[in-house]
Structure 1
Amino acid sequence: MVTLATFVIVALLNPYSLLKASPSMASTLESGLLDCFGKNRLTNYTTINSRPQICYKLLNFSLQNLRFTEPSVPMPYVIVLPSSNIQVQHAVVCSRQHGWLIHARCGGHSYEGFSSTGDSPFVIIDQMNLNKVEVDVAEGTAWIGGGTTLAEAYYHIANASKDRYGFSAGTCPTVGSGGHISGGGFGHMSRKFRLVADNILDALVVNVVGLLLNRTTMGDGMFWAIRGSGGGSWGMVVAWKLSIQYIINWRTQDDDYKYLNWIKSFYEYMEPYVSKSPREAYVNYLDIDLGAARNGTASVETAREWGIMYFKDNFDRLVRVKSHIDPHNVFRYPQSIPVNTKQVL
């Protein structure tokens, strides 16, 4: 019986999702990809023709914004739900070898749907099953899978530490940790403990050629880039190691006014300092109105229009790192970090 944990969906071919490819071209692309899956033991899959209802349910399972479920929205041709790091590696290698664009998805909360929609033949590698959390209370650290939601991470860390530890991140329980951390990760404890990305000690990333890298083997440039520049440009982050913090909670209702009044006064204090001109943005809250490029193929100068608004002077450094680790621009989306061909080694 087909299970959710290792499911591969071949979804309906939207007229836009293969750029109006001919039936023979679509068949060739599909057969080559699925043959590669089979050779690498990614054999548990189904097609839209055999089990359409299951396919649609799984396709929409992680979509948090219903506007991306409309029939006119380009849909993925294949969705992979790996249950191990090696399956992610095989999915990346097969997709690249057979010309498929790769979209990473963990929580489905992308404001502009970049993890679930696209213009080219694309594969979604959904990490929802990579949600294991390992907590070391004595060391004050935790490894969380790339598909772990914030609620799952909070629960397992609190449970392992008897409600004594947490970590500085957001408040929406269904947000995927992968996208949240890669965009910085702001939350209520950030003033004291900084962004969640500031508390990342290590990571495991599947790169463009399918290698599993840690902090040491990926190098300082890539480790810097994956912590704050947004997901989708660098590879598949399958696990994060983070430091956890001692926390307190208040349960007496009378204390509510004390803490809420402090928050209100802090908000009023910060209001004069928010950016107005030029406009700036936070990459966890993607804004396509800043600019975008079909298929993530923008030139450096075109991408600079929105890149500066997200990353300011760090944009040029991100371009240098991208050009080094992903020179063929395999991992991309409409606002991804571009490649500078002059900087490719």
Structure 2
Amino acid sequence: MKKSFVFLLVLTLALYFSSAYSQDFISCVESNSANASSISELIYTPGNASFQPIWQFAVQNTRFLKPSTPRPSIIVTPTDESLVQTSLLCAKKHGYEIRIRSGGHDFEGLSYTADVPFVMIDLNNMRSIDIDVANSTAWVGTGAVLGELYYSIAQKSNNTLYFPGGTWPTVGISGLIGGGGTGNLLRKYATAGDNVLDARIIDVNGKILDRESMGEDLFWAIRGGVASSFGVVVAWKLQLVPVPEKVTVFIVNRTLEQGATEIFFKYQSLATFEDRNLYIRSQAASEFIGNTTQKTMRIIFQGIYQGTTNELIPVMDKVFPELGVTREICQEMTSVQSTLVFFGRPSTTPLEILTNRSAIPKSNSKTKSNFVRTPIPISGLEKIWSKFFENDLSGGLLIIPSGGRMDDYAETATPYPHRAGTLYLLATSVNFVGQANDTTPVSLRRLAWLQSLEELLTPYVSQNPRESYVNNNDLDIGVGAANYMEASVWGERYWKRDNFRRLIRIKANVDPENFFKFPQSIPVFKRRGLAQ
């Protein structure tokens, strides 16, 4: 009874002081704003009925929707740049950390959770999209998601322009670019970050900077070095790219019994195919054979060609006849329709779904990523398949091919270093479907299996460093940042040595007190010198 009383007392006091501190922040914002009454309608604390729905809306990985996930102390939903500036000022003054959320697809929930008091700046209201068809450019508010952008481009350009971003409609444009950004146009036009012309960022001092005033170092850093390490990007100017009015999409399914292993072995060299119009991603998972207890692997090859079926078939017959792509399985459609297909909807689905964030399914998973530079041999693939047979059908594998235009860029062109010589990105995952959370015994077994798969992959993925994709961030690989040796454990995996060291130097110049920090953000060391 006594312990219960003490617990309730501590909880009551914690809530009281949290509320008091929150009020200090709110008062600070109001006193530094021209219109305090309207500002108050854009700030939410846990006592507000809208607080939980706003926080939950863009939690795209539902494994974080559990009571133990730490919520913000305050949520700010700015409609313009001035409130972002004021929020940064008041967060610094009252000792809050900052988390910046646009689409909410952060794989580790870092844009909306923290173990310290923090203010979450939710940029959902800053989602304007201004398409300039004549100049093939677009200014996009950082709260916009890919589906909204693609829909707007298609409507304005009559399906002749697009942007080389990802395939999932609810991914935020800012988070995508901040980590580089891969998608179906990777082999044709490289990464999303390679196709950015300008940006507006609010720095630690509240100054609004464009490309000219921020300088080329910072502009380089935010296009792949995780932009939220350096400030709050509020808008991006994008280079739109030409696409044919019709592209060709095909999907091929193969099991091990249908020769999937040999096909996949050949597929790994897709990066070396000359035709940059061809892009084929693949997904693999185990399944039971019919009604038996025996398992097989099913590999799904999803292809898109920047041209017609008549143009595609001769290419496939020449470079990849083993896949068996025929005219009958090909479908011509617009680029925006292909986005529908790649996230699992029929091409005839009304395009308006791309602008409806509530209509897009969320994930419930844990993901790891590696890059492959040498084809995994047949013997290695068979070991991977055997490992999948140990899984309870919750595991998955996704391949994002590279090559083409990516080979034209140096590793240092942007912070995204996985360029020439990279065959593909290999992402592995487990889901927690059927589980109350990710800490149940079944969930823990799934996580242990994922880690054992990661260990099995070691001989077959890139080495020195073992590369990972920062947009598939994974806190398991390390979070230490007391010195360069600690930080390099994860930093060199994401960016390699030269890029990581340059990011650290830029960070020290633009945010020397490390205000914009979170696990695996670009570090600032207390003493000068990267080796400290």
TM-score grouping bracket, smaller chain normalisation? 0.7 to 0.9
Contact 2:44 2:74 in 1 (8 A): no
Query: Is residue 2:183 matched to residue 1:187?
Result: yes
Q: Pick which of 319-328 and 54-63 moved more.
A: 54-63
The answer as to whether partners of 2:18 and 2:73 remain within 8 angstroms in 1 is no
The CA distance in 2 between the partners of 1:241 and 1:60, in whole Å, is 29
Is the Cα–Cα contact under 8 Å of residues 44 and 75 in structure 2 kept in the other structure? Answer: no
**Structure 1 unpaired stretches of 5+:** 1-14
> Residue by residue, what CA displacement relative to the aligned partner does 1:265-302 show, whole Å, maximum 9, x if unpaired?
89x99745563334210111111111114xxx643331
Match of 1:309 in 2: 493
1:318 matches 2:503:
yes
Query: CA contact under 8 A between 1:300 and 1:339: conserved in structure 2?
Result: no
Shift of 1:184: 0.3
Conserved? CA contact 1:203–1:237, under 8 Å:
yes
| Letter in structure 1 aligned against 2:462 | K
- Cα pair distance change 1:158/1:197, threshold 3 Å: same
Distance, in Å, in 1 between the alignment partners of 2:209 and 2:168 is 29
- 32-41 or 22-31, larger mean C-alpha shift: 22-31
Per-residue CA shift, 1:311-336, capped at 9, x if unaligned?
A: 11211111000011001111111000
More strand by percentage? 2
Distance, in Å, in 2 between the alignment partners of 1:264 and 1:106 is 42
- Report the counterpart of residue 517 of structure 2 in structure 1: 332
TM (norm. structure 1) is 0.85
* Aligned ranges 1:220-235 → 2 under 5 Å: 220-235=216-231
1:1-345 → structure 2 map (5 Å cutoff): 22=14, 25-39=17-31, 40=33, 41=36, 42-44=39-41, 45-49=43-47, 51-52=48-49, 54-248=50-244, 249-250=246-247, 255=309, 258=313, 271-272=375-376, 273=423, 275-278=461-464, 279-293=466-480, 298-313=482-497, 314-343=499-528
Between the aligned partners of 2:183 and 2:123, the Cα distance in structure 1 is 23
Q: Which residue of 1 aligns with 2:393?
A: none
Higher mean alpha-carbon deviation, 70-79 vs 25-34, is at 25-34
Secondary structure of the residue aligned to 2:154 is helix
Question: Partner amino acid for 2:232?
Answer: M
Distance 1:155 1:265, change over 3 A: farther
Tell me which moved more, 23-32 or 193-202. Answer: 23-32
Q: In 2, are the aligned partners of 1:167 and 1:243 still within 8 Å (CA)?
A: yes
What's the CA shift for 1:134?
Answer: 0.7
Rounded Cα–Cα distance in structure 1 between residues aligned with 2:69 and 2:126: 27
TM-score (norm 2): 0.56
Structure 1 residues 237 and 269 mapped into 2: Cα distance closer, same or farther (>3 Å)? closer
Query: Structure 2 unaligned runs (5+)?
Result: 1-6, 251-307, 324-371, 377-422, 425-460
Amino acid at match of 2:218: M
Residue 234 of structure 1 and its aligned partner are, at CA, apart by 0.6
Q: Is the 1:183–1:283 contact (alpha carbons within 8 Å) kept by the matching residues of 2?
A: yes
Matched with 2:405 is none
| Deviation of 1:217 (Å) | 0.9
Give CA-to-partner distance per residue, 1:222-270, whole Å, 9 cap, x none: 111001112320111000001101112336879398488878989x997
RMSD over aligned CA atoms reads: 2.9
Distance 1:184 1:71 in 2: 32
User: Would the aligned equivalents of 1:106 and 1:178 in 2 still touch at CA under 8 Å?
Assistant: yes
Q: CA offset at residue 193 of structure 1?
A: 0.5
Letter in 2 for 1:250: V
Give the Cα–Cα distance (whole angstroms) in 2 for the partners of residues 78 and 226 of structure 1.
26
Once the 2 structures are TM-superposed, how far is the Cα of residue 88 of structure 1 from its aligned partner?
1.4
- In structure 1, C-alpha distance between the alignment counterparts of 2:166 and 2:228, rounded to whole Å: 20
Greater Rg over alpha carbons, structure: 2
**Which whole-Å deviations, capped at 9, do the CAs of 1:21-68 have from their partners, x for residues lacking one?**
84564344212101012122322145433x43x221111000011111
Q: Secondary structure at the match of 1:336?
A: coil
Aligned counterparts of 1:149 and 1:270: Cα–Cα separation in 2: 34
Assess if the C-alpha contact under 8 Å between 1:323 and 1:343 holds in 2: no
Residue identity in the other structure for 2:145: T
Amino acid aligned to 2:46: I
